[in-house]
Structure 1
């Protein structure tokens, strides 16, 4: 995918090596990563993420799309989103997103998620998309519901993370 996905306010594009600084700005903030099973990142962690994203785009057939979310108006990377194909079912996959907290509550997560859904449905023939979410992450639940996902199950005591046992909601959307 060399072309970009464009919305009214955003561009979703492939990562480039220089993006690590903008990513690290949010990926190193412990207080915003309480619902994530990764982070806070060291500089090495963030640079490793970029290297992995660059490698994944070269895999044939492509099974993962890790994309930067760029605010058009400022030409500034404000987050990331991704889609990964399911290994067992060809027309299924999962997505995720993260936004720099300086840009929270502005609708960017919803806008990026809707654009990613449209792309994977129309360009990749994906029929079913899943997303998971910490049961305590109310903001992410709201984004998923707004984007047409339905909660299909709860995974109790899913895994241990950051000193607590996480329960996880699984959401699904058919395209």
Structure 2
């Protein structure tokens, strides 16, 4: 199943092998990954990410949907988003997103997230979606609130990440 989701300004589509170059443009930037438990990536890390995604796309049943975020008019990959089914609850899953910092503050994360929510609800019959966020990541918290998520809990000292213990907010929204 090839996924192609269009919004006013974006296309969410399946990754292709050559996307690693555009992904690596932001995945190697230490400064933007301070809230992520991955990165900064080496070229090998980014190529392995793409290889893993392409393999997951072939799984049956498919439980992970990682998509490139592309500016429609420019046909330019500016980020990624993904939805993953919860292994314990059939109608539940989680989502995440990342946008190249060159394109921050344009509403692209919220636009992509809302499109992914609609897809999960309409095509995958998902009823509940979770998202997690570093408590220090105010921009991501704002995106989640804008997309109708509610903070449901705080996980103190969730895990060690980049030399500190990360506290994590858990958000949820019903479709």
Report whether the alignment pairs 1:103 with 2:103. yes
What is the DSSP-based 3-state SS (H/G/I as helix, E as strand, rest coil) of the residue aligned with 1:139?
Answer: helix
Cα deviation, residue 73, structure 1: 1.3
Q: Which residue of 1 aligns with 2:14?
A: 14
- The separation in 1 between residues aligned to 2:93 and 2:3, in whole angstroms, is 21
TM-score (ref. length: structure 1): 0.99
Q: Which runs of 5+ in 1 are unaligned?
A: none
State how 1:10-159 maps to structure 2 within 5 Å. Answer: 10-159=10-159
- The separation in 2 between residues aligned to 1:124 and 1:5, in whole angstroms, is 14
- The separation in 2 between residues aligned to 1:127 and 1:48, in whole angstroms, is 31
Cα deviation, residue 2, structure 1: 1.1
Q: CA offsets, 1:95-128, max 9 Å, x none?
A: 0000000000000000000000000000000000
Cα deviation, residue 72, structure 1: 0.6
Aligned length: 175
Cα deviation, residue 3, structure 1: 3.8
Q: CA offsets, 1:5-49, max 9 Å, x none?
A: 000000000000000000000000000000000000000000000
**How large is the Cα RMSD of the aligned pairs?**
0.5
- The separation in 1 between residues aligned to 2:117 and 2:23, in whole angstroms, is 22
- The separation in 2 between residues aligned to 1:72 and 1:174, in whole angstroms, is 28
Q: Which runs of 5+ in 2 are unaligned?
A: none
- The separation in 2 between residues aligned to 1:124 and 1:65, in whole angstroms, is 11
What is the DSSP-based 3-state SS (H/G/I as helix, E as strand, rest coil) of the residue aligned with 1:87?
Answer: coil
- The separation in 1 between residues aligned to 2:109 and 2:136, in whole angstroms, is 18
Cα deviation, residue 64, structure 1: 0.2
Q: Which runs of 4+ in 1 moved over 4 A?
A: none
